[in-house]
Amino acid sequence: MALEIERKFLVRGDFRPDVVNSTRIQQGYLCSAPERCVRVRLTGDQGFLTIKGGTSTSGLTRYEWEHQLPVTEALELLSLCEPGRIEKVRHRVDFAGKTFEVDEFGGDNQGLMIAELELEFEDEPFERPGWLGQEVTGDARYYNSSLIRKPYRDW
C-alpha cells in the first residue's frame, strides 16, 4: 500500500528562476469523488491511471495506486472521463535540496498556481522559498478533482 504525504501551497511570487523543467499535462476523471478518485493523465508521451483514496484526518496522507498506460490507452480512457478536463503545465522547481512541483493551470482554471511538496513524514521540516504563499493542504477546493466541477474561473 502506497501512501503519499504532500503539502500544498499557493504561489505568490516568481518561481521561474528555479525551474528545472516543465511538462504539459492533461487529465480527466473517471470518478472525481474525494474519497475514491480515478484519474487518467497524459503527461508528455506517458499515460497514467491513478486511483486515490480519501485523505487522512490531517489532510496530508492519501492512499495512491498507479499504473502506467500507453498513450493510445490513455487517450481512449480520457474519452470516457466525466465532462471537464484539467490542463496545466507542471514546473519542477528545485529549492534548498527539495523539489517543488508548481502547477500552472490553463483553461477554466487559468490564473491558479499551486506548489506541491512531497515529504517523507508528516512533520518533516523544509526551507520555504520566497515565492511560496499560503498553505492550502487539505482544502478540497484545490483538489484537481474539485477544479473540474468548480473551476477557479467561477470562484
Read out DSSP for 74-98? HHHHHHHSPS--EEEEEEEEEETTE
Bridge partners, residue 116, by sequence:
8, 101
Stretch that binds its own copies, among 8-16, 61-69, 122-130, 141-149 (CB under 8 A): 61-69
C-alpha cell at 103: 502547477
Question: Residue with C-alpha cell 512531497?
Answer: 118
> Which listed residue (4, 18, 82, 87) binds its own copies by CB under 8 A?
82
Tell me if 38 contacts its own copies by CB under 8 A: yes
Nearer CB in complex with its own copies: 46/110: 46
Strands (E), 34-81: 36-43, 46-55, 61-69
Q: Considering the complex, state which of residue 34 and residue 133 has its C-beta at the smaller distance from its own copies.
A: 34
Give, as one character, the DSSP assignment of residue 148. H
Q: Pick from 10, 26, 43, 51 the residue near its own copies by CB under 8 A.
A: 51
List the grid coordinates of 62. 492519501
What is the total count of residues that contact its own copies (CB under 8 A)?
A: 20
Residue 117 C-beta: closest distance to its own copies, Å: 25
CA distances from 81 to 15, 40, 49, 65, 115 (A): 32, 8, 12, 18, 25
Q: Is 87 in the site for its own copies (CB under 8 A)?
A: no
Residue 29 falls in the annotated catalytic set: yes
Q: Does residue 36 belong to the site contacting its own copies (CB under 8 A)?
A: yes
Q: Is 83 in the site for its own copies (CB under 8 A)?
A: no
Binding residues for its own copies, rule: CB under 8 A, are 1, 30-31, 33, 35-36, 38, 49, 51, 53, 63, 65, 67, 72-73, 76-77, 80-82
